[in-house]
Structure 1
Amino acid sequence: MVQQSKKKGLAAKWAFEAHQPNAGITLSGVTKTLRGRTVLRDVTLHMAPGGIYGLYGPNGSGKTMLLRALAGLVSIDAGSIDILGERLRPGHSPSSAGIVIEPMALWVDCTGMETLRLLASLRRGMRECDLERALERVGLDPRDQRAYRRYSLGMRQRLHLAQAIMERPSLLLLDEPTSALDPAGRALIHGVLREERERGATVVFASHDRKELEALCDRQFAFDNGTVREG
């Protein structure tokens, strides 16, 4: 009887710890209304650290709004968001996050390398080799002298991801990051995201392509009119 009670106690302790804020990302009762329409409706879910999580659903279903809320780009009307041990406060972004959410405002006259240098100087500075490596990982040449304005849509998506991963953040929030890429480009980016997961990053990835999410993600969440279900 004592042994059984001890086991129950350990199970309860594990269940409690698994839902603590420092165990990943926890949303509790998150609601957001925009221009009279409820875009997120009492969303409650948990994502453990070090996984790739897929969000899918039609346009306007709430997946991009959820990413914006996780990034601290919009305030929520009700509920709470805990990200990797921090309660997200209104007007603040997670302390270690790489974000790709359109529209991305980058310097149109800068090369890819110049862009990363500028971003690194605005943040905390990085080694030149780290910036070069970030570009190479997504399939861009650090020596390419073309300006951003001359990039194809696919090249722009690659650069957006390079700036998101260059500081090795704990969290990646990505909205349709491969929509303009061909199959080979998608496969390359999927490999990068799996590498990020292996080093311990948590990746939240929104896509219209259910097959892409099935091939890439550990868990998936379906959005429908602001409500969310797993599966």
Structure 2
Amino acid sequence: MSFIEINHVSKSFKGITIFENLNFTVEKGKIYGIIGHNGSGKSVLFKLICGFIFPESGKIIVDGEELGTNKRFPNSFGIIIDRPGYIAGKTGFENLKALAMIENKISNDKIKQTMEMVGLQPEAKQKVKNYSLGMKQKLAIAQAIMEDQQTLILDEPFNALDIDSVGNIRQLLQGFREEGRTIILTSHNQDDINLLCDEVYRINNYRLEKVK
């Protein structure tokens, strides 16, 4: 049973074709890897799946509902696309708390627990403007998982992480798959793709070709 369906989707920017008659299906409970050179359209694909942008033609259906008709954004998606923006003068916890208040579904304890899971100290007074790139990446991962989002769309989630942190996040993602969550990710590191992904697709000639 397909959870995400991309049917005959075409998308271009400023006259440059990104996708043409693209078809892609995603099943629940698997990890999918998307590979391709810089500028090939990985981030565009993720934005289409998340309802941030719409195709010129074709349909994107998530859990039986077409995006852009009655539904703008899919439910329970945790997302890292590009580099998330944060309030520089607030701590990591304060930033995540502000995001959590949008839907008000989780407690302070849940936020702190998630920060610890990714390797951040929730009680630290350090402002995000003084975070290293690796710490900012962990904060991005924390916001994508803290509400137990059932679908994770992760564009380069391992960027700037040290070896120990990479191993920790890989274990987290493998655990989420065992829980039945669905994950679509990109990585420039082939080891991440090989170790984590059940299926791998390469962007080629404006479409996705399966390579694993």
TM range (shorter): over 0.9
Question: Counterpart of 1:5?
Answer: none
Question: Counterpart of 1:7?
Answer: none
When Rg is computed on C-alpha atoms for both structures, the one with the higher figure is 1
* 1:30 and 1:44 in contact (8 A); partners too: yes
Question: Counterpart of 1:11?
Answer: none
Per-residue CA shift, 1:186-229, capped at 9, x if unaligned?
11111111122122211110122222201111111111242210
Tell me, in whole angstroms, the C-alpha distance in 2 between the residues paired with 1:117 and 1:125: 11
* 1:56 and 1:209 in contact (8 A); partners too: no
TM-score, scaled relative to structure 1: 0.87
Which amino acid is the alignment partner of residue 33 of structure 1? S
Tell me, in whole angstroms, the C-alpha distance in 1 between the residues paired with 2:19 and 2:164: 34
Percent of aligned pairs with the same residue?
Answer: 34
Which amino acid is the alignment partner of residue 61 of structure 2? D
Alignment gaps of 5+ in structure 2: none
Aligned CA-pair RMSD: 1.4
Per-residue CA shift, 1:121-169, capped at 9, x if unaligned?
1222411111111101111111111111111111101000100101111
* 2:187 and 2:193 in contact (8 A); partners too: yes
* 2:8 and 2:21 in contact (8 A); partners too: yes
1:61-72 superposed matches below 5 A = 61-72=40-51
The count of corresponding residues between Structure 1 and Structure 2 is: 210
Question: Counterpart of 2:31?
Answer: 52
Tell me, in whole angstroms, the C-alpha distance in 2 between the residues paired with 1:184 and 1:86: 39
SS in 2 for 1:114: helix
Query: For 2:99, which of 116, 119, 125 is the aligned residue?
Result: 119
Query: For 1:188, which of 168, 186, 189 is the aligned residue?
Result: 168
SS in 2 for 1:74: coil
TM-score, scaled relative to structure 2: 0.94
- Structure 1 segments, 4+ long, off by >3 Å, are none
